[in-house]
Amino acid sequence: MRLPRILIAPLATLALLAALPAAASAARAGANPQNSCLDCHRALDDARLAAPAKAFAEDVHGAHGLGCIGCHGGDPTDADITSMDPDKGFKGTPARKDIAEMCATCHASAEFMKRYNPQPYIFSMAEFRTSVHCKKIAVGDPKVATCTNCHGVHGMLSRKDPRSPVNRRNVPATCSKCHNPEYMKGRTVPTNQYALYRVSVHGKALLEKGDLSAPACNNCHGNHGAVPPNTRDISLVCGTCHGREGELFAKSKVKAGLELEGKRGCVTCHGNHGVQLPTDALIGTTGDGVCGRCHESGSAGARASDVIVPAFHALKARIGDADSLLAVADRLGMEVEAGRELLKQADDQLVNVRATLHGFDTKQITAVLTEGDGLADKAIAQARDALRDWRIRRIGMALSVVVILLMAGLLALRIRRLERGPGA
């Protein structure tokens, strides 16, 4: 019996579809059912040729059942050197400029990647293409980073592995392998990022304290962006972690004003790579104070800081006064619990104002300062009350001592009289 011609193509397709699950499950059942590439290369004497196979045991691709051919092509079922025949799709070692596109055959497709990992897929080839790295690869710069400079090659690890070069703790070292004066010799791009970062609050928190909430280079620059965050984005970038400051600043007149001048949000006052722990000395118009840097006297900003700056330092001084008065009362053995509680609340307002400052709204800042003042005044009043009580007690005590001494004196006199006897 001959099949009608019109059925042949659909039937062939059906047969192919029926065979697919079998092939897929075979692949799942034994990862790398056959990988002649690995077997032969592992046994080669030439270290250059054997190293990729030896490192592959730990490779994230190997662990997902992907063989050498995922990147290099060829026929893994052929145990001979002919497995590397270009006719069998073998591509050889990629030239440096072609590596990114080779990885992109899989990694540019979120749909393909989802089959291996249900987690949200973050890598974006489109983002990588916007990076200075990728753009310069395209024009033949041999020194910019491609995928393997940051991730390694054979023996590539997941970013979650603490040994991965892109694990957060290792990122600053990975970037600065190239972003240093020696490697960048002859270029105009600044190379002090790591030196500044290492001693910044962020660098110390991540590298010395192991605080994984502190940013590494990629948390500000993006994993694959490698561009300086642009003017508008900087406060957004910082604001992802410093929510309160970021939110207040976003609505402030300062942000709008700085943008007009072409200056950049947070980094104008804090710096970018070398962010240091801010001190209260920054709130000032002279010396280390930053307010006078932009506000010429007479301007709205200057008039505002002339109100805010002295009020801030006055609150701090008041809190200091309350603290020492309470300490004196405490040393004298008086009850200061309630006063200490008020002082703590006043101190919270001082902390609050350091953040509120970022709205650069005189009314809002003054409100916090006034509340702090009220609490500090109450703490001072409590301390004064305690000291007055102590004085009253001391006068009372002195009086009772006098009375006791008087009584003792009288008693002594009486006793002496008695000793002398009635006849004396």
Least Å from the CB of residue 24 to ligand HEC: 14
Least Å from the CB of residue 85 to ligand HEC: 9
Q: Which of 135, 154, 156 is nearest to 144 (CA)?
A: 135
Nearer to ligand HEC, 185 or 420 (CB): 185
| Chain residues 324-353 in contact with ligand HEC, contact rule CB under 6 A | 351
Number of other residues whose CB lies within 10 A of the CB of residue 40:
17
Distance from the first to the final alpha carbon of the chain: 160
Nearer to ligand HEC, 37 or 380 (CB): 37
Least Å from the CB of residue 115 to ligand HEC: 8
Question: Which one among 226, 315, 343, 380 touches ligand HEC, defined by CB under 6 A?
Answer: 226
Question: Which one among 32, 58, 121, 328 touches ligand HEC, defined by CB under 6 A?
Answer: 121
Q: Which of 197, 211, 103 is nearest to 150 (CA)?
A: 103
Alpha-carbon distance 387 to 394, whole Å? 10
| Chain residues 263-322 in contact with ligand HEC, contact rule CB under 6 A | 263-270, 272-273, 275, 277-280, 282-283, 290-291, 293-295, 299-301, 304-305, 308
Using the contact rule CB under 6 A, the part of the chain among 247-255, 383-391, 401-409, 413-421 near ligand HEC is 247-255
Least Å from the CB of residue 130 to ligand HEC: 11
| Chain residues 366-405 in contact with ligand HEC, contact rule CB under 6 A | none
| Chain residues 80-109 in contact with ligand HEC, contact rule CB under 6 A | 80-81, 83-84, 92-94, 96, 99-100, 102-107
Number of other residues whose CB lies within 10 A of the CB of residue 82:
12
**C-beta of residue 239 within 8 angstroms of C-beta of residue 250:** yes
Least Å from the CB of residue 321 to ligand HEC: 19
Give the number of residues in contact with ligand HEC, rule: CB under 6 A: 148
Using the contact rule CB under 6 A, the part of the chain among 18-26, 338-346, 354-362, 402-410 near ligand HEC is 354-362
Alpha-carbon distance 191 to 334, whole Å? 59
Least Å from the CB of residue 22 to ligand HEC: 21
Alpha-carbon distance 144 to 405, whole Å? 93
Question: Which one among 58, 127, 155, 159 touches ligand HEC, defined by CB under 6 A?
Answer: 159
Distances (CA, A) of 263 to 220, 241, 244, 293, 413: 18, 21, 21, 13, 90
Question: From its phi and psi, is residue 313 left (phi > 0), alpha (psi between -120 and 50) or beta?
Answer: alpha
Nearer to ligand HEC, 28 or 394 (CB): 28
Question: Which one among 137, 145, 329, 376 touches ligand HEC, defined by CB under 6 A?
Answer: 145
Least Å from the CB of residue 43 to ligand HEC: 8
What b-and-e string marks burial along 128-156, b requiring 16 or more CB atoms within 10 Å of the CB?
bbebebbeebeeeeeebbbbbbbbbebbb
**C-beta of residue 140 within 8 angstroms of C-beta of residue 95:** no
